[in-house]
Amino acid sequence: MTEEELKKIYKSAKKIAMDSFNKVAVGDVREEYIRQLKEKMADKLEQYKIDNINQTEQECYMFLNNNYESIEHKLRNQEYQCLDDLSREIKDFEQFYLDQGPKGPCYREIGLEFCYKSLAEGSDYFNKTVQNELNLQTQLAEQTQKKLRSELVELKQMH
């Protein structure tokens, strides 16, 4: 849940608690009990904020990992023609996450960090794949060149 939603719930709960307390509280220590109640409620709010952050992070990463699988699959199967195709798909994925993903504190930052990290890893993977293909082509060209040189030497020796 967003921090605003949490604060709204807190304010509502605080009002209900204070109203209930004020209906029954009497005596000289009433103000001290109100101060203690407010302090305990503030402590609880801080704990709920921490729990909310942790829960949001878990939900966000679960959503991101589950929905990123198709992009990762395409990348591993070399279905992207160029790096721009991968970049566009990750940008679309980012927007999908922002629209459909879980909301909460830092959800935007979590999504952006995930997408940029995925783009960097995807770029690295894409570049390594291209480099491997280039190395293979270079080896094949060198082998062909050696073969042609050998054939040329044989032809020269025959004439």
pLDDT of residue 78: 82
pLDDT of residue 3: 83
Token pair in block for residue 153: 């030497």
Query: d(Cα 94, Cα 107) in Å, to the nearest integer?
Result: 11
pLDDT average, residue stretch 113-137: 90
pLDDT of residue 89: 94
pLDDT in tens, 24-41: 877 778 888 888 888 999
pLDDT of residue 114: 94
- pTM to 2 decimal places: 0.68
22 pLDDT higher than 90: no
56 pLDDT higher than 80: yes
pLDDT of residue 28: 78
pLDDT of residue 43: 94
57 pLDDT higher than 90: yes
Query: d(Cα 132, Cα 140) in Å, to the nearest integer?
Result: 12
Residues contacting residue 123 through CB under 8 Å, at least 6 positions apart: 83, 86
pLDDT average, residue stretch 129-141: 92
